[in-house]
Chains A and B, each alone.
Chain A
């Protein structure tokens, strides 16, 4: 190798071009390139800073919240009354309302979204898909505050008309839950459809070849094969429902209330944060700190759901070659 390089260099010299005797072929350090790479790395690292920022802020303010003599950790997680005015900070009513509303939302969204997904991936013709896909995207693109308006001014009056004004209050969890369900339906529909479309066609053809109908193929072959993706989509949608704010802030009412009755008003964790911070909030007050403690609980619930969905996809995915 060295000889060849030498020979080449001599040739160059013979041609009377000023080429150095040996050529250094090692990678040359380029300062400009390194700087650019560093800058790009920092851009990527901002996301880590964001996470650190979220965790730090939530923990730090929560610590000073729990350091307050009016609050104890035990009371926070087991107390059934949330009334900052009288120094009662039990998160259960808020948590309960979040759970009730998310459950109603899932009851609406899972059948609806899954139905849409199965129809789109197994039944719909190209033309039907071209019409229906944009409809789902449009539903997903509508701002949540518009859904809140819809819940309060359209769904609630209908519910009151059906069940009676004295049964259903103006602000109620059922209306909020149903509309949150509509809001997360596109998530379930698109994620499930992705999972269903990823199932290879040969499985369907084998099933048809055994004489199954389209429905039997869909429900006994394709859906089980895509189950991990469908589950993961459902969990992502659930985490969206838990974190949804505007619909519940407008339609579910503004008083913490520990109840299972969906016709009653009850404030969720997100709704409470929005209401408390919407007023004039003085920094350092216990109200101000309490939103960080609620935020911390909310953050961990959604984080756990997101991690769970990722695990499910990884562990239970059926891999087809």
Chain B
């Protein structure tokens, strides 16, 4: 086929390739399509790869090896028997032979050794005589696959140290309070602070958010004032306008960075309302240390942060209730609020609860606003009231990550695992709750 002769026609009306050229055209286009499909698939799979890398990164750091050096070997103390098997008398004997008399006297004064349990005695022996000291930290991959290298390295720097497996995530890690020593530090106070904050934020933002959503979905077009009076008309108009304004405003607020909410919380709740948020008004707080940096301030700030999302998701749930149900209710003579309270809300509740729990659980991972309102990171006592100083998990993770020592990185990773488990269980709870409420409504 000669393309020369076709040229004039191609210019005027265009033409399609024929024969072999057509087949080539189609197959090359299809090939291009296949290549692009591969690229698109790669983009999507890359998302999965990132998740896997993230999981690997965290697990690799949260577990691994440590180089431990003991002041005295356990075997030397007990002639090769493990400490746990020794009787109380033998444990006391070990203490008496190995401790200096001053230390012994101090211990006796606290509580006589003979009255202490075996576990306590073993702890004392570990702390005072064996004195394990972490001299090196290795990640899980180094510990498993690079054993000879790290052993050689350790022997060079600390000849007496041994490599042991260490899970930084442990029950002790979860139940012990904060400490400046990474090996002994735990996240008890952080977990309690997070739960406190979660509960309080839910308590504040749920009624406000659902109330606003009900207004925007059910009452927006109402005219509560008498239309025949100019003042009433003016008021109705103003209310309608502000309802429109509220909707735009909620959308814009949902795009405001969380750190700005932190700044707002710092200026309003921590500083301007200090008397109130520190509990001084109620005579609650210790006047010497009281300031506004309390759980209450944090919960108020977080509530403002999640409110737009709670409102938007509640609105969607309310909108999903069919209008026929409302009309049936009105037809039976119910008032507007009776309809909303007895018909609309119960039907929308599964959706509202799921949406609320999901959005609040997202806020639990937020760190930036809490840094700005000045939550403390070093807290060793449990939060006891609204006016306690507090710390939360993400803040603790941030603090530990920003330190250069590998031990802190390791406990940060362990903290991340706890945080992710907490978030996953919250999400699972939201979904289970929704299914439960749905099945209950169907059966009645």
Contact = CB atoms under 8 A, between A and B. Distances in A.
Given A34-B224, A44-B246, A216-B33, A245 B263 contact: no
B245 A48 contact: yes
Contacts of B216: 44
Contacts of B261: 54
Nearest to A36: B337
A266 interface: no
Interface string A274-296: 10011001010000000110010
B364 to A, nearest CB: 8
Q: How large is the interface on A (under 10, 10 to 19, 20 to 34, 35 or more residues)?
A: 35 or more
B33 A303 contact: no
Interface stretch (A2-10, A111-119, A196-204): A111-119
B37 interface: yes
Interface residues of B, number: 87
Contact of A144 (B54, B246, B271, B367): B367
B337 A214 contact: no
Given A57-B268, A116-B43, A250-B398, A47 B54 contact: no
A302 to B, nearest CB: 6
A44 B215 contact: yes
Nearest to A51: B249
Contacts of B373: 277
B263 A291 contact: yes
Interface in B180-235: 207-209, 211-212, 214-216, 219, 222, 224
B311 A146 contact: no
Given A37-B224, A242-B257, A245-B257, A149 B401 contact: yes
Interface string A109-150: 001101110111001100000001001101101111110111
B174 interface: no
Interface in A29-83: 30, 32-34, 36-37, 39-41, 43-48, 50-51, 53-54, 57-58, 61
Given A41-B239, A47-B250, A270-B257, A143 B367 contact: yes
B29 A243 contact: no
Interface in B49-83: 50-51, 53-54, 57-58, 61
A43 B36 CA distance: 50
A270 B259 contact: yes
A107 interface: no
A273 B214 contact: no
A298 interface: yes
Nearest to A276: B372
A191 interface: no
A186 B95 CA distance: 60
A306 interface: yes
A172 interface: no
Contact of B368 (A185, A239, A270): A270
A141 B427 contact: yes
A33 B264 contact: no
Given A215-B33, A243-B257, A292 B263 contact: yes
A143 B365 contact: yes
A39 B211 contact: yes
Contacts of B366: 143-144
A51 B253 contact: yes
A310 interface: yes
Interface in B264-314: 264, 266-268, 271, 304, 307-308, 311
A51 B259 contact: no
Interface string A152-187: 111000000000000000000000000000100100
Contacts of B211: 39-40, 43-44
Contact of A53 (B48, B268, B336): B268
B402 interface: yes
A299 interface: yes
A18 interface: no
Interface stretch (B124-132, B161-169, B411-419): B411-419
Interface in A223-242: 236, 239-240, 242
B55 to A, nearest CB: 10
B409 A213 contact: no
Given A145-B365, A215-B36, A270-B257, A43 B43 contact: no
B250 to A, nearest CB: 5
A246 interface: yes
B24 interface: no
Given A149-B412, A154-B57, A48 B50 contact: no
Nearest to B368: A245
B423 to A, nearest CB: 7
B260 A54 contact: yes
Interface in B391-427: 394, 397-398, 401-402, 409, 412-413, 416, 419-420, 423, 427
10 contacts: A33-B336, A37-B222, A44-B215, A47-B253, A51-B253, A57-B268, A116-B43, A136-B47, A246-B368, A306-B255
The 6 closest A-B pairs by CB, nearest first: A243-B257, A143-B365, A115-B43, A43-B211, A215-B33, A245-B368
Given A145-B365, A189-B47, A249-B371, 20 more contacts: A30-B335, A37-B219, A44-B246, A50-B307, A51-B253, A115-B39, A124-B44, A135-B48, A144-B368, A149-B58, A149-B412, A182-B50, A215-B32, A215-B36, A245-B259, A246-B394, A249-B368, A270-B257, A277-B372, A303-B256
